[in-house]
Amino acid sequence: MWLSLAAGAVLAAGATNQTPMPRFLALGDSYTIGEGVAPSENWPHQLVAAMRARGVAIAEPDILARTGWTTDELAAAMAAHAFHPPYALVTLLIGVNNQYRGRDLENYRAEFRGLLHRAIALAGADPRRVLVVSIPDWGVTRFGAESGRDRARIAREIDAFNAAATEISAAQHARCVDVTAIARDRGGAADMLAADGLHPSAAMYTRWTAAIASAAREAVRGD
């Protein structure tokens, strides 16, 4: 009995002293929470599954995102949120609602820069652990086709916002992943859309995950 109790005490002590699993923070809007799909089907959860399948230990995502958020709304939510840094991986995907609401590019630049600085701080001041994901083009969706909006203009504005985010991210040495081209490829197909005809389906998020996974693994490893 003594040996059994002692062994149990050692096991308990070992469990207490285990290294915490690397944490993952995902910041954004409807594209990050996965509006219209099950939580397990959004791309942050799919990314965790993909990384674990490749032998990369990472915790379930801490997601701070809401449908409709603009850059300033995300910033306000971050100011009120209790974070637990440092995070081994921080992703940032924000800006589509700035474009949708007609906000100007310079405003986006300023607010995105502030969000990126905060994301880097949450990643232990290591920009290599921050991954900026590009804004998809909602104009290619069924909702976009039925909206009456100029889809060519939507595409130009999305491209301008993404170019600004890429430039700012490069200056801060954060990583960038382009999912916009993926979203434009079959982005209006029924199987690539959630029921609302606007947001991506789980199948589209799987395609995003494949593009994001390599950079995310490098970020977690600190490469």
Domain presence at residue 135: yes
State how far the Cα of 10 lies from the Cα of 79, in Å rounded to an integer: 41
Domain presence at residue 193: yes
Domain presence at residue 72: yes
How many structural domains comprise the chain? 1
Are the beta carbons of 116 and 168 closer than 8 angstroms?
yes
Domain presence at residue 107: yes
Instruction: State which residues form the domain around 113.
Output: 19-221
Are the beta carbons of 25 and 64 closer than 8 angstroms?
yes
Side chain identity at 100, as an amino acid letter? Answer: Y
| pLDDT value of residue 23 | 98
**Which of 48, 22, 53 has the alpha carbon at shortest distance from 34?**
48
Domain presence at residue 11: no
Sheet holding 175-177, edge to edge: 62-65, 24-28, 89-92, 130-133, 175-177
Are the beta carbons of 93 and 132 closer than 8 angstroms?
yes
Over 50: is that where the pLDDT of 5 sits?
no
% residues pLDDT > 90 (the chain): 90
State how far the Cα of 43 lies from the Cα of 212, in Å rounded to an integer: 9
Over 60: is that where the pLDDT of 111 sits?
yes
Q: Domain holding 135: CATH number?
A: 3.40.50.1110
Query: Encoding tokens for residue 143?
Result: 């909702």
| pLDDT value of residue 13 | 43
* Weakest-pLDDT range from 119-123, 137-141, 186-190, 219-223: 219-223
Query: Encoding tokens for residue 122?
Result: 């949450």
| pLDDT value of residue 194 | 98
Over 70: is that where the pLDDT of 134 sits?
yes
Residue 100 burial (CB count, 10 A): 16
Query: Encoding tokens for residue 34?
Result: 């996965």
Domain presence at residue 123: yes
Are the beta carbons of 165 and 109 closer than 8 angstroms?
no
Bigger pLDDT: 34 or 9? 34
Domain presence at residue 109: yes
Domain presence at residue 166: yes
Query: Encoding tokens for residue 30?
Result: 């409807």
Q: Per-residue confidence at 17, pLDDT binned at 50, 70, 90?
A: low
